[in-house]
Amino acid sequence: MARTFFVGGNFKLNGSKKSIKEIVERLNDASISENVEVVICPPATYLDYTNSLVTKKQVKVGGQNTYTKASGAYTGENSVEQLKDIGVNWTILGHSERRTYFHEDDKLIAEKTKFALDNGVSVILCIGETLDEKKAGITLDVVQKQLNAVIAEVKDWTNVVIAYEPVWAIGTGLAATAEDAQDIHKSIRDFLATKLGKEVAEKTRILYGGSANGANAHTFKDKADVDGFLVGGASLKPEFVDIINSRN
Ligand code: PEP
């Protein structure tokens, strides 16, 4: 079945009004296929500003993190209600930097995912193994455990996009090969089929993330289970457009 190609841009804690304006204007001016969904995720401070600049219909804006409560005494947190209030309907959740530096565990990520979805915000759900876990040969165990936590909470996966991001590939310049990514993506899809049924598995987009760039994106082009990318560093650069257009 045809799944719409999806490219997320995770700006992480980078950018300024000036640089974000340049990035968005580049996307607005670019020739981008009609059949691609792009979601750019600037730091929370710039969400409203970024959203006000986007004119391209294929491009949407997303947060990088949301909490399990809509409002209240939760200093420093991000609310899905407030995202929606400014017209933002996507968020990344479970990024490895949140899991590592902010000690977010599978249960919290699952609860955040459920809360976002229940309140109308779509989720780019990040999963992936560390280098030690890869070396130990437990990649599939790790991603299945991460997914199981979310499967226990979330029954409707329509608005979930999975980003398989091997931690060892994020920000290192060492991307997984397209062949290795395809193998893992296929295993993830098979796992989703056993847990959620074949139809859900076939419909769910699985992105690859980890040092994707303008030069390597096209090598994933013919990989049946790679439905797009979550891009960090390269999403800040002109080559982001090449990644978006890598399926053309
Ligand atoms: C990311 O932050 O999700 C990511 C994939 O980063 P990079 O593309 O820089 O490896």
Q: How far apart are CA 80 and CA 209, in angstroms?
A: 24
Q: Check if 165 has its Cβ closer than 6 Å to any atom of ligand 1.
A: yes
Rounded to the nearest integer, the mean pLDDT of the chain is 98
pLDDT tens digits for range 79-132 = 999 999 999 999 999 999 999 999 999 999 999 999 999 999 999 999 999 999
In this model, does residue 176 exceed pLDDT 80? yes
Q: Which residue CA neighbors atom 7 of ligand 1 most closely?
A: 232
- Residue 248 pLDDT class (50, 70, 90 cuts): confident
Write down the pLDDT at residue 174. Answer: 97
Average pLDDT over residues 130-148: 98
**Closest to 226 (Cα-Cα) out of 191, 197, 184:** 184
Structure tokens at 92: 């990344």
Residue 16: CB atoms within 10 Å: 11
Q: Which residue is associated with the tokens 């991307």? A: 175
Total count of residues recorded for the chain: 248
| Helix and strand totals (H; E) in the chain | 10, 8
Q: How far apart are CA 16 and CA 42, in angstroms?
A: 10
CA dihedral in degrees (65, 216, 59, 147; nearest 10)?
-40
Cite the active site residues.
95, 165
- Asked whether the beta carbons of 34 and 63 are under 8 A apart, the reply is no
In this model, does residue 158 exceed pLDDT 70? yes
**DSSP code of 175?**
P
* Distance from Cα 233 to the centre of ligand 1, integer Å: 6
- Asked whether the beta carbons of 129 and 139 are under 8 A apart, the reply is yes
**Closest to 168 (Cα-Cα) out of 180, 160, 176, 177:** 176
C-alpha 224, offset from chain centre: 18
Q: Check if 216 has its Cβ closer than 6 Å to any atom of ligand 1.
A: no
Q: Check if 212 has its Cβ closer than 6 Å to any atom of ligand 1.
A: yes
Q: Check if 37 has its Cβ closer than 6 Å to any atom of ligand 1.
A: no
**DSSP code of 236?**
G
Alpha helices (runs of H) in 119-203, residue ranges in sequence order: 131-135, 139-153, 178-196, 198-203
Residue 167: CB atoms within 10 Å: 21
* Distance from Cα 72 to the centre of ligand 1, integer Å: 31
- Residue 1 pLDDT class (50, 70, 90 cuts): low
State which of 127, 231, 242 you would mutate to test the pocket of ligand 1, scoring each by most atoms of that ligand within 8 A of its C-beta: 231
% helix / strand / coil in the chain, to the nearest 5? 45, 15, 40
Average pLDDT over residues 198-227: 98
pLDDT tens digits for range 31-75 = 999 999 999 999 999 999 999 999 999 999 999 999 999 999 999
Percent of the chain clearing pLDDT 70 (strictly above): 100
